[in-house]
Each structure stands twice: as structure tokens, then as C-alpha cells.
Structure 1
Amino acid sequence: MMIETDLIEQKEQKLCELPTEKRSKKNKRKKRKAMPNNVQNLFAMCKEIFSQCGPGIVPPPADVERLRSVLDTMNASDVGLNQDMRYFRRTEIDGAPRVTYLHLYECDKFSIGIFCLPTSAVIPLHNHPGMTVFSKLLFGTMHIKSYDWDDMPLNPNGTPNPSQSQLSGVRLAKVKIDATFTAPCKTSILYPTAGGNMHRFTAVEPCAVLDVLGPPYCDPEGRHCTYYLDVPYSSSSDSGDGAEENLGSGVGGEGEELGYAWLQEKHKSDFYLIGAKYGGPKIVEN
């Protein structure tokens, strides 16, 4: 955006003509507006940590923990949200409840945004190519199911079965998390190839999730958001009754015992995301 130089000079001249007392009050008002808040602190931390990162490059473990610690302290009031807002009420008579996205900031290194979900709303299973993602549940209860790609499918006895990996359009993935979370809880982190890079969010009750992506999605650079359909491993293999043992309990928690599924890319997603104006503390770029 271009700003006329003459207008800037006129404003500076008027400011100089103000009495000292008025200039002092004006400067104090500016200082009050610029006071740091948790959103500004989060922005500053992201700017520092992701400056040397890029696609597939994870920040050092110490920096990951620093950013997680900042997010862990944040709640809905920090971003100007509360559960009575319209974003968290289901207004549709038919169809799935709509998810609202509040955009805070985006550059080529990272993005910050908030997903607002009414009860039963779903963010479908999708991936995060080359990204490190921090998700902080600000309030509410949410079920998360996530996967990481698995190198090789298994036979019922646990031995590799290369033939099953050739099924058309599908790829085997291992369940990383299948659990329900209620705020306050720790920030979850996923990595380019670990931590549950493909995940699905389902709102058990109205909830808000603050997301930090480093780097953000970018179609020209090949970082597309791909959606998937997950099919239990046993239903698409010739493994017989023993496959149920491979799937594990699948009722909650984290780890390899939760089992496997075939993920099939969906060429068209019926997911509908509404954009809305963010009304919380503004981010000031230095």
C-alpha cells in the first residue's frame, strides 16, 4: 500500500506544533497501545524460531519447547473469544456444522490462525506436508485421530507384506493418536514425518483451536492440503480374523498399539470452511 509522503510530513509538522503536554499524552497513548500481550509474544516467538526454518526443517528441540510453553499459557480470553459467540453455535438445520477460521497472521515462514468448531463439527482427515504444526485447544472438548505413514504393511502375524502396499490409490498409515482432549491441556505438536502428520478434529462440545504452522500451506511450492478417507486395515487386506489383533484397541491414547489403516486420497472434499474477521489483540510487525 502506497502512502503519500506529503501526508506524512503534514502529520509530523502538526505533531511538532502541539504543546509539550499534549505531545506527551499522545505518546503515552501510543505506548499503551503497543504494550505486549500474549498474542504479540506468540508472534515474536514464531518470527524468531521459524526464521531459519523451511519445508521439512523442524526447529531445534529447545525452540520447539519454548514455543510450546508460550502456547500452553494461552486461553480463549487472550484472543478475544468466549463460548457464547456465534462461531460456536450450530445454525444449520441439515448437513454438517460449519467450521469458522479466524486469520491472525501469515508470511512465507509461518501462519497463525484459530479454528472455531460448534458441537459435532469436523475438520476432516488431512495432511501437513513439510510442516511443523502446533495446536492449542483454547477451550472445549475435542477428539483427535492422527496418523503417520507406515513404510510397509503387515501380515496378521506382524510380518511385512509388500503386496498389500500395491493397492491402487491407498497407502498404509499407523495410528498415532486416537483420544479425546479437554482444555486446559498441553499443546499438541506434529512434525513433517512424525507425531501424527495427518489428523482429524471432531468437536465433542464447542471448542476453539489455535494453530501455528511452519511453514504454511503453499500451492505454488507444492504444499497442498490433501484430504483422506481412512479404512481399517483389516477390511482391505486378506488377513482374516487375526487382523483385529493388529488394529489394537483404538479407544484412546497414543502409540503403535493403536493399529493401522489404509488412507485413500480424496480428490474432492465436502469440507466447507468459513472465514471471519479476527477481533482479538492485533499483531504489530516490528
Structure 2
Amino acid sequence: MEAGLVERGRDVVGHVTRVGYVKKIITKRRRTRRIVRPPQVAPPMALQELFVSCLDVFKGPGTVPSPQDVQKLCHILDNMKPEDVGLSAELQFFKPSNGVKSDPRVTSTTIYKCDNFSLCMFFLPATGVIPLHNHPGMTVFSKLLLGTMHIKSYDWVDSVDSDSSVQSSQLRLAKLKADRVFTAPCDTSVLYPTTGGNIHAFTAITPCAVLDVLGPPYSNEDGRDCSFYKDHPYAASTGEATVKMEEADCYGWLEEIEMPENSEIDEIEYLGPRIIEHR
């Protein structure tokens, strides 16, 4: 008898998640077999280059990468392909569902995380949504690897410590930074702690995969928790902020809310190419 490995299941992006042992009858004469361990496979050059660059670029909480460093990371991410992180458009997750409704829950996986930055991916099925949320004190690079999605993003107009009547009404004025559809491959989006669309929402039109670089990563202990918002048209509020009528469509009122129902993200193990941590 000989034991062999067989695939038992795949995760939402098509990676093998469970294996089982089966036994098969060996009818030929038994032979002595030498076990050869496969050599360690080097990660794709782009993924390793991204990791090494992040080590140099991100200096910790309270810092923002220089324009030159932002350009360097964008150049790497702009040229990254799904295969660099073990994905392919041929995976079942990214193929048309033929009318079969899929679970709209979003899934994520972490490639690497340290105190200064994290590399993670988000997988959104068609109609999947990551609600409007912020990134306090963080610089974030988002690269759409596969699929088509709608992105809506805002930046605050007033400062956090404003004592205006807008604050007291639990609504804050925000300026619309993006409200459009993106299809992979496309350029990397960059948001900063206070600019670039720090508050954004993703809505998948087709199954999507997004690679995010966050520096520093979310941390409840360090005050970088995620907050959620609901946006209201500018004309829907009588707040004292004044915006020219012809510019009203470029603004909205954001209301902080509890995490929307059914918006929790399932975490799965990363099974793609591994980075090499030593330099």
C-alpha cells in the first residue's frame, strides 16, 4: 500500500485549502525510493522588490513617504501581475458565474505584516462591497490586479478638531476625490493620511483582487482603528459650510456609523509565493 495526497477543497480564490490521504494498491515490485525535497523557490522578482522597497520606504507611524519613494513604489506596483502573488484569471473565482449567485462576503489574506507596513490582498466577488471607511494616519497604495470595480473616495474639508455646528450635528463635510469605475490593469491608487481619498469604498462589478500596501498598518493599540461612514448629498444638510452651487456635486456630508451588517471580512491563509525576509 502507498499513501498519496489528494486535493479536498479550495478556498475562494482557488488555492488548495485541505488535503487528504488515500491509499492505492501497488501491483509492481516494491522499489526503494529516495525522498528528494524540492528546492526553495524564489519569489517573483516584483513581489520581492516590493517587499524590500517597503522596508526602505516606510519609517513608522507619523511619517509619510517622500514623493520619490511614492513614485518608486507606484512603479513597482504598476508593473505587478496577478501571477506575482499566485493568482490567475483562470481561477474559478474570477470566471463568469453563469447566473449562479455567489456569496457577497469579502475575503482577505496577509502576505506580510510588521510594525511599519503590511502587504495584503482583498478578494471581492461580483457585487461584493467594502463599505466607506477611513485609514487614520496611514499611506495606502492600492493596485487592482484582476476585475472591474467602482471606487468612491473622499477627503475631509474641515480639521478633526473643528468645533463648528457641522461637527455637533455628527456630519462632516468631505470633498469627493473619486467616483468612477476601474478595470485591471490600471495605475496604482495612492491615498495619504489627509489627502488623496483617505476615506473610500469598493464595489465589485466583476470578481476582483486588490493588492494593498498599508504604511503603517491598522492597529487598535496605536489608535489606527477603522471607522465606517455613510455619505449624504451636500444639499441634504443645512450645515453652515458654504459651497458654490455649481460645485455641490463635488462634496458630501459623511456620517460616522457602526460597521454595516454583513460587511465583516473573512481572513484566509496566504498560499502564494513567499517573500524572503533576509536582505
Which category describes the TM-score, using the shorter chain as reference length?
0.7 to 0.9
Letter in 1 for 2:238: S
Which residue in 1 is equivalent to 2:203? 202
Alignment partner of 1:236 is 2:237: yes
Q: How does 1:66-85 map to 2 (within 5 A)?
A: 66-85=72-91
Does the residue aligned with 2:218 lie in a helix, a strand or coil? Answer: coil
Q: Quick one: distance in 2 between partners of 1:128 and 1:59?
A: 15
Structure 1 residue 84: deviation in Å? 4.4
Contact 2:102-2:125 at 8 Å conserved across structures: no
Residues 173-192 of structure 1 mapped to structure 2, 5 A cutoff: 173-192=174-193
**Matched AA of 2:75:** S
Query: In the alignment, which residue of structure 1 is the partner of 2:69?
Result: 63
Asked if 1:106 corresponds to 2:110, the answer is no
SS at match of 2:266: strand
Q: Which whole-Å CA distance do the structure 1 matches of 2:109 and 2:94 have between them?
A: 13
1:280 counterpart SS class: coil
Which TM-score applies when normalising by structure 2? 0.76
For structure 1, which runs of at least 5 residues remain unmatched after alignment?
1-24, 153-161, 249-258
| Pairwise CA distance, 1:109 | 0.2
Q: Is residue 2:272 matched to residue 1:280?
A: yes
Q: Which residue is 2:60 aligned to? A: 54
Supply the distance in 2 between the matched residues of 1:170 and 1:283 (Cα, whole angstroms). Answer: 43
User: Which structure shows the bigger proportion of residues in strand conformation?
Assistant: 2
Structure 1 position 276, deviation (Å):
1.5
Find the counterpart in structure 2 of residue 256 from structure 1.
Answer: none
**Where is the helix percentage greater, Structure 1 or Structure 2?**
1
User: For this pair of structures, how many residues does the alignment match?
Assistant: 236
- Identify which of 106, 111, 118 aligns with 2:125: 118
Aligned identity (percent) is 52
> Structure 2 vs 1, CA of residues 94 and 171 (structure 1 numbering), >3 Å: closer, same or farther?
farther
Q: Secondary structure at the match of 2:221?
A: helix
Structure 2: 5+ residue runs without aligned partners? 1-35
Q: How does 1:1-40 map to 2 (within 5 A)?
A: 33-34=41-42, 37-40=45-48
1:176 Cα deviation (Å)? Answer: 0.7
Per-residue displacement from partner, 1:64-120 (whole Å, max 9, x unpaired)?
100110000101111111234355577xx9897011102101000000001111111
Q: CA–CA distance in 1 between the matches of 2:265 and 2:54?
A: 25
Q: In structure 2, the residue corresponding to 1:219 is in which secondary structure? A: coil
**C-alpha distance in structure 2 between counterparts of 1:36 and 1:142, whole Å:** 26
Let me know the Cα RMSD of the aligned residues: 2.8
